[in-house]
Structure 1
Amino acid sequence: MPRDIPIGNGTLLVTFDELYRIRDIYFPFVGKENHSEGHPFRFGVWADGQFSWISDGGWERTLRYQPETLVTDVNLRNEALALEIIAHDAVDHQENVLLRRIEVRNLAASARTVRLFFHHDFYISETEVGDTAYFDPDTLSIIHYKGQRYFLISTDGVEGVESFATGRKAFRGAEGTWRDAEDGLLSQSAITEGSVDSTIGRTLELPPHGSTTMHYWIAAGTSYREVARLNELVRTRTPQGMLERTRNYWRAWVNKNEISFGDLPDEIVDLFKRSLLIARTQIDNGGAIIAANDSDVVTRATDHYSYMWPRDGAFVAQALDLAGYSNLTRSFFDFCGRILTDKGYFLQKYGPDGSLASSWHAWWDPHTRQRLAPIQEDETALVLWALWQHYDEFRDIEFIKALYEKLIVRAADFLERFRDPVTKLPLPSWNLWEDRRGIHTFTCATVYGGLRAAARFAALFGEAERAARYAQAAMEVREAMRARLYLPSEGRFARALMPTTDGGWETDSTVDASLFGVFYFGPFAPDSAEVKATMRAVEERLWVKTEVGGLARYEGDGYMRVAEGVPGNPWFICTLWLADYKIATARTREELEATLWLLHWVVKRALPSGVLAEQVHPLTGDPLSVSPLTWSHSTFVATVITYLRRLELMESCATCGRPLFQYDRRARKRAPS
């Protein structure tokens, strides 16, 4: 299930699924540890002798956010129970507390007693072994704990937690205390250890056609003292007061740069702001930009996306810099400086704490008995490229100085060195889609961009020899791309050169959306003949010719394939790359505005909450794979800013009379930091 409404503060992340069940609770890192392991926390209602979980049939659900905030706006309606529930959830922007305001509306003409039940299925530190759940009389709350992880649950009732049950789950047939709630009463069992869960209840009196409101919260900490302090803080400041301050904070945060959107349609502006906010939920305060936090993927892959891929992170950082959020990207680049290997490259992916994550990139070829570089070289190159974009935007030279030797020089030296001495192309590595190893056009384009960035940094610090060396290497990569990866017969670039069993190379001419890199990272002009032909092939052969539309990754893409007769499932990032190209080559305002339909396509395929998945079903438009994908949201942000800057450049050229001959990334208004 997609995660329709994630909320967080960079330390505590809580996700809800489409049935409005809490599914993931990450603390103290975004992406690590998941203290629910994807198991649902149920929310139930008892009224007039009937019980229903809000995930049951009979409920109409609308899951959105309040505008320009990370406060949810949830509507639940059940005609059979004659009840409507309005819920607002938020993680406090500063303290590690999940806050929930729940208003229950009586649709009947008579007064009624309603009981709400909140179930908690913790797998603390990602295992059910050795947990404890108990009622704490000092805080009038239920506490789940193990080791240095504590979770305190309470409400704003006079008695704190009014009724409760702790018990065993997933052990010798025990389903859990949520079953205890279904008769409208709880057992009051005060403590259980091992594989445990808990449920609390709250009674509300509803007047005829009236409503009653309550608040509920979960505080997360590393000790009893910490969660007890947070509990007292919520009671002192009131949960409603903390919700209000969090709502105000996010509205200020998303509008802090006062971007002028001109005539851009409201729905695009709204998704732009929503994308910034959702991307923020996926970024750890320590600097790791996490790809996606949706634990359901574990069921099909026995792994997840809650890792920091330097490639994804670099793209997200570039988008955040374009939008003016340099504080977040500085933390990301600092993180990269800490995890770069001694050899000058990044490995496939990392945990949010900087630890090396799982990988399928081999270090050894058992057939040739040779060492392999277990890398996607584009990840190293893209961090350098994005770091120059950051510096070019904000000119924070003292920040760059601290990274120059330990990150920039070491990574650039690797990019320069990791090349074939004859062809001058990069040596084989894994591609950005992580499904094949060879010499990829996208990788070569990023290496060009990374080396050009390093040359500019070296020149900035007065190191002429280094600057010349990096610039020469970049030029050699570009010319080698033209000589080895260009297909004269088709007038476009190939996807890759793939190694053969006899030690040679075979050209892979598959059309791949990542070929946009030949202009995006600078090796070739967007209006050059070879780029035009390449992008024409991308659009013609990868556009999904169904009512859904969108651009697939590459011809014959089998990843999560759900339909025949299409090149693959449409991806948000690929569709937006096509928009980037059309924006880059627009020569008039009319041509530029003609690209907006691609942004509208993204808006139409978002969930009602604004969440963007990784890809969508080519026949139904339903989300596929993880949701939200941080990269999808950041690409939308970057494309919107690129559109606005292209428009600004056009208007500037019209005013001064200068012709618009090329895509000028430097002619832009500098955003505040």
Structure 2
Amino acid sequence: MINEQQLQQHLRKKPYLVDAIAGNSAMLVSLGRTGRLYRLWWPHIDYPQHVDEIRTGLKLGNTSGGVTWFDDSDAGWQHAANYAPHTNAYRVTSTHPDYPVTVEQTDFAAPGQPLMVRGYRLTNNGHETRDLEFYHYGSFRIMENELYATTEFQRKQDAMLHFRHQYAFAVGSSEVCSGYQAGNGSWHAAANGYLDGNVIAMQSDGAMKWTFAGIEPGQSVDFPMYIAAGHSRGEALAALTVAKSRSYAEWYSEMEAYWSKYLADAAPCPSANEAIAALYERSLLAMKLMADESTGTIVAAPEFDEYYSRCGGYAYSWGRDAAFVTTAFNKAGLGALSEKFYDWSITAQEPDGSWQQRHYNDGSLAPSWGLQMDEGASLLWGMWEYYIHSGKREAFLERMWPAVEKGAAFLFQQLDQDTGLPLPSRDLWEEREAEHTYSAAAVYGGLTAAAAFARRKGKEDLSAQWEEAAQDIASAIESRCWNESKGSYYRGLKLTVSKETYEAAIARGEGGFVQQRDKGYENYILDVDPIVDVSLLGISVPFDAVPVDHPRMVQTADAIERLLTSPNIGGIRRYENDGYIGGNPWILTTLWLCHYRTLQGRYEDARQLLDYAIKHVTSSGLLPEQVDRNTGETAWVVPLTWSHAMFVLAVHLLAERGEL
């Protein structure tokens, strides 16, 4: 762990909240609205991350004061930023009241190449001819490790090469640089506008400069910079050579065509409303960047909290999140991405048939808090959802069946004979252990899906067994999980709490028991968890363990809206007394209620909830996880893949009923 001072130093380079992402599903970067590149992942979008700090700046002629870093708002630079239309290219225009220069910067990854392209246009807005020096400072923390790095200027390729072990990054331009420095205090040298020509250092950073002389008033100069990756020095330099072999305009046109084809292959937005259509398109573009090119893995978000200082990290693949995302891909006509994900998911299944909490792109278990029963159940449900949307049904069934059979057998074995619900596991928010009602509904959905697969395979006995188990879960939800006092389903049964919480609850007359564990340890368990939680909507939407119009389900949804609507700015919080990041409303939870209201036939209410998401996009049009409960500003995680998926699903649910 790092201390608070180290954390604050880290956050000055890499803030929690970013403004944009760009990439090609193999290389991914996160960016600020100043144009600063915060992080770069390659060759997968989850791990490893390689950038410590990358800065860009200008020195005007013989002016004093050294370099002004135009990716720095504190230095007086003002920025206007947004995505280039219909692409994942991010464009920032930087101006300064004291400098007669405008900088336009466009960041994108070249399709199919280990290459980040950074296009710059420098415009002289003054009345005098100007000489400009453009500076690039790069500090690479390759494989997220500050040790064993080397930085070397390669004269032949006119490139700064950063390498460590099996990764290398070559930084250069098709324009010839006019100065360089490897290590040796290169940050301070660049800031002062003087690079000493040091060729190689066993350090992680280096700087380069380019000189543009005699820029006339109103004239612009264009030049590209490239960050090329490879698994060796030779590979990275070869990738940079390819980059230089083509013009920036060619790279940009190819990128533009790539995203144009991706969107053309998708189903068009089923709404003519401009705001809905814009967010729908941006959702599809963002979701594609969160689906790994080589494996098909879908990650929850680009990582932003590497030290787990405020959360447990997000750049992993959760089966639950991915099941919602793939269902959105299905609706959007992008089922090939769903199929690729489910082919990957088989590699992440445990020998006992379970799927654990979350995974890396290679299928190995990521840092974990323990089993979440809804993860594997959601994957089985999601496989069936793809199957019924797919034109490749039998081939898909054959590939999935062994995993389905093992997965369903595991779920079947995890049923509590006492309650009829699945045995205790972590909840979907990863905060508590109990027999959660949402997890029970997910297992209902997973077993129902597995039973349907079994029928297709002609395995009637298995199908009947799993279908019966699913119906028993639905019956147990009805008989054991209703909380009359709140007009809502219980969040769960057999809730594990601390000894202090247990003793206080027992003193208030609540029921519970002490469970003896191994080696003399004890668990303190309350009979019920009465907290109203938005995930209770999942009983009905999407898992259908209880019909949407069942009186108890209607009461539960109304209790959720009444108790969880954020009082100041609207939107739906996760649950009563939620304290995570201050207890803000979430976009996905608000859209979850939108889904329910749509299926309930309360279309005007659903449209208002959909509109909430539209009104709370970030400045670049992305959906966050949370909205600040007081200001309405983005509060946490940008972008959250699940948020975008819930928006796409909400749009289709309303459109299918002619209500958009």
Superposed pair shares fold, TM > 0.5: yes
Task: Give the counterpart of 1:227 among 227, 230, 236.
Answer: 236
CA apart distance, 1:23: 1.0
Is 2:364 the partner of 1:349? no
Q: Kindly indicate whether the alpha-carbon contact (under 8 Å) linking 1:459 and 1:467 is maintained by their aligned counterparts in 2.
A: yes
Is 2:68 the partner of 1:52? yes
Task: Give the counterpart of 1:529 among 523, 526, 551.
Answer: 551
Aligned partner of 1:304: which letter? G
CA apart distance, 1:149: 0.6
> How do residues 310-321 of structure 1 correspond to structure 2 at under 5 angstroms?
310-321=319-330
Structure 1 residue aligned with 2:589: 574
Structure 1 residue aligned with 2:531: 510
CA apart distance, 1:299: 6.0
> How do residues 31-110 of structure 1 correspond to structure 2 at under 5 angstroms?
31-36=46-51, 39-48=52-61, 49=63, 50=65, 51-54=67-70, 55=72, 56-110=74-128
> How do residues 489-568 of structure 1 correspond to structure 2 at under 5 angstroms?
489-497=485-493, 498-499=495-496, 500-503=512-515, 505-520=526-541, 521-546=543-568, 548-561=569-582, 568=583
Q: Kindly indicate whether the alpha-carbon contact (under 8 Å) linking 2:564 and 2:574 is maintained by their aligned counterparts in 1.
A: yes
Is 2:287 the partner of 1:272? no
Distance 2:419 2:575 in 1: 26
Q: Kindly indicate whether the alpha-carbon contact (under 8 Å) linking 2:270 and 2:651 is maintained by their aligned counterparts in 1.
A: no
Q: Kindly indicate whether the alpha-carbon contact (under 8 Å) linking 1:614 and 1:632 is maintained by their aligned counterparts in 2.
A: yes
Aligned partner of 1:511: which letter? V
Q: Kindly indicate whether the alpha-carbon contact (under 8 Å) linking 1:110 and 1:209 is maintained by their aligned counterparts in 2.
A: no
Aligned partner of 2:578: which letter? D
Aligned partner of 2:638: which letter? S
Q: Kindly indicate whether the alpha-carbon contact (under 8 Å) linking 1:445 and 1:523 is maintained by their aligned counterparts in 2.
A: yes
Q: Kindly indicate whether the alpha-carbon contact (under 8 Å) linking 1:124 and 1:131 is maintained by their aligned counterparts in 2.
A: yes
Secondary structure in 2 matching 1:595: helix
> How do residues 246-265 of structure 1 correspond to structure 2 at under 5 angstroms?
246-263=255-272, 265=273
Distance 1:300 1:57 in 2: 28
Structure 2 residue aligned with 1:378: 374
Aligned partner of 1:517: which letter? G
Q: Kindly indicate whether the alpha-carbon contact (under 8 Å) linking 2:101 and 2:122 is maintained by their aligned counterparts in 1.
A: yes
Distance 1:113 1:10 in 2: 38
Aligned partner of 2:209: which letter? G
Aligned partner of 2:198: which letter? S
Structure 2 residue aligned with 1:617: 628
Distance 1:303 1:584 in 2: 34
Secondary structure in 1 matching 2:20: coil
CA apart distance, 1:450: 0.7
Structure 2 residue aligned with 1:368: none
Structure 2 residue aligned with 1:190: 199
Q: Kindly indicate whether the alpha-carbon contact (under 8 Å) linking 1:297 and 1:626 is maintained by their aligned counterparts in 2.
A: no
Task: Give the counterpart of 2:383 among 369, 384, 387.
Answer: 387
Q: Kindly indicate whether the alpha-carbon contact (under 8 Å) linking 1:416 and 1:473 is maintained by their aligned counterparts in 2.
A: yes
Aligned partner of 1:610: which letter? G
Secondary structure in 1 matching 2:382: helix
Number of positions where the alignment pairs a residue of Structure 1 with one of Structure 2: 612
Aligned partner of 2:287: which letter? A
- Spell out, residue by residue over 1:330-359, the C-alpha distance to the aligned partner (whole angstroms, 9 max, x if none): 121112111111111111111122221112
Distance 2:30 2:269 in 1: 32
Aligned partner of 1:197: which letter? D
Q: Kindly indicate whether the alpha-carbon contact (under 8 Å) linking 1:34 and 1:125 is maintained by their aligned counterparts in 2.
A: yes
- Spell out, residue by residue over 1:550-575, the C-alpha distance to the aligned partner (whole angstroms, 9 max, x if none): 110000001111xxxxxx20111101
Secondary structure in 1 matching 2:227: strand
Q: Kindly indicate whether the alpha-carbon contact (under 8 Å) linking 2:269 and 2:277 is maintained by their aligned counterparts in 1.
A: no
Structure 2 residue aligned with 1:171: none
Structure 1 residue aligned with 2:521: none
TM-score (norm 2): 0.89
Structure 1 residue aligned with 2:655: 644
- Spell out, residue by residue over 1:525-544, the C-alpha distance to the aligned partner (whole angstroms, 9 max, x if none): 11221111000000111000
Distance 2:395 2:335 in 1: 11
- Spell out, residue by residue over 1:77-112, the C-alpha distance to the aligned partner (whole angstroms, 9 max, x if none): 111112211111110111110011111122211111
Q: Kindly indicate whether the alpha-carbon contact (under 8 Å) linking 2:161 and 2:170 is maintained by their aligned counterparts in 1.
A: yes
CA apart distance, 1:584: 0.9
The 1:393/1:419 distance shift into structure 2, 3 A limit, reads same
Aligned partner of 2:149: which letter? D
CA apart distance, 1:13: 0.9
Structure 1 residue aligned with 2:21: 6
Distance 2:353 2:286 in 1: 32
Q: Kindly indicate whether the alpha-carbon contact (under 8 Å) linking 1:23 and 1:41 is maintained by their aligned counterparts in 2.
A: yes
Distance 1:629 1:177 in 2: 36
Structure 2 residue aligned with 1:327: 336
The 1:550/1:153 distance shift into structure 2, 3 A limit, reads same
Distance 1:211 1:381 in 2: 57
Q: Kindly indicate whether the alpha-carbon contact (under 8 Å) linking 2:342 and 2:383 is maintained by their aligned counterparts in 1.
A: yes
Say which is worse superposed, 277-286 or 211-220, in terms of deviation.
277-286
Structure 2 residue aligned with 1:139: 157
Task: Give the counterpart of 1:117 among 135, 144, 148.
Answer: 135
The 1:462/1:395 distance shift into structure 2, 3 A limit, reads farther
Distance 1:433 1:262 in 2: 32
Task: Give the counterpart of 1:628 among 639, 646, 652.
Answer: 639
Structure 2 residue aligned with 1:164: 180
Q: Kindly indicate whether the alpha-carbon contact (under 8 Å) linking 2:173 and 2:244 is maintained by their aligned counterparts in 1.
A: no
Q: Kindly indicate whether the alpha-carbon contact (under 8 Å) linking 2:488 and 2:532 is maintained by their aligned counterparts in 1.
A: no
Q: Kindly indicate whether the alpha-carbon contact (under 8 Å) linking 1:297 and 1:625 is maintained by their aligned counterparts in 2.
A: no
Distance 2:376 2:226 in 1: 42
Secondary structure in 2 matching 1:642: helix
The 1:17/1:297 distance shift into structure 2, 3 A limit, reads farther
Distance 2:44 2:452 in 1: 35
CA apart distance, 1:505: 4.5
- Spell out, residue by residue over 1:234-268, the C-alpha distance to the aligned partner (whole angstroms, 9 max, x if none): 222223201211111102202323425243x2111
Structure 2 residue aligned with 1:129: 147
Distance 2:641 2:447 in 1: 26
CA apart distance, 1:191: 0.8
Structure 2 residue aligned with 1:658: none
CA apart distance, 1:394: 1.1
Distance 1:279 1:518 in 2: 26
Aligned partner of 1:292: which letter? A
- Spell out, residue by residue over 1:203-229, the C-alpha distance to the aligned partner (whole angstroms, 9 max, x if none): 224211222111111111112332232
- Spell out, residue by residue over 1:403-449, the C-alpha distance to the aligned partner (whole angstroms, 9 max, x if none): 34321111111111110123321111110000000011111111111
Q: Kindly indicate whether the alpha-carbon contact (under 8 Å) linking 1:4 and 1:63 is maintained by their aligned counterparts in 2.
A: no
CA apart distance, 1:19: 3.3
Aligned partner of 2:229: which letter? A
Secondary structure in 2 matching 1:479: helix
Q: Kindly indicate whether the alpha-carbon contact (under 8 Å) linking 1:29 and 1:353 is maintained by their aligned counterparts in 2.
A: no
Q: Kindly indicate whether the alpha-carbon contact (under 8 Å) linking 1:46 and 1:114 is maintained by their aligned counterparts in 2.
A: yes
Q: Kindly indicate whether the alpha-carbon contact (under 8 Å) linking 1:101 and 1:240 is maintained by their aligned counterparts in 2.
A: no
Aligned partner of 2:575: which letter? Y
Structure 2 residue aligned with 1:369: none
CA apart distance, 1:70: 0.9
Distance 1:330 1:612 in 2: 25
User: What stretches of structure 1 of length at least 5 have no aligned partner?
Assistant: 169-175, 362-374, 562-567, 652-673
Q: Kindly indicate whether the alpha-carbon contact (under 8 Å) linking 1:3 and 1:294 is maintained by their aligned counterparts in 2.
A: no
Q: Kindly indicate whether the alpha-carbon contact (under 8 Å) linking 1:294 and 1:628 is maintained by their aligned counterparts in 2.
A: no
Aligned partner of 1:225: which letter? G
The 1:398/1:120 distance shift into structure 2, 3 A limit, reads farther
CA apart distance, 1:643: 1.9
Distance 1:224 1:239 in 2: 23
CA apart distance, 1:593: 4.8
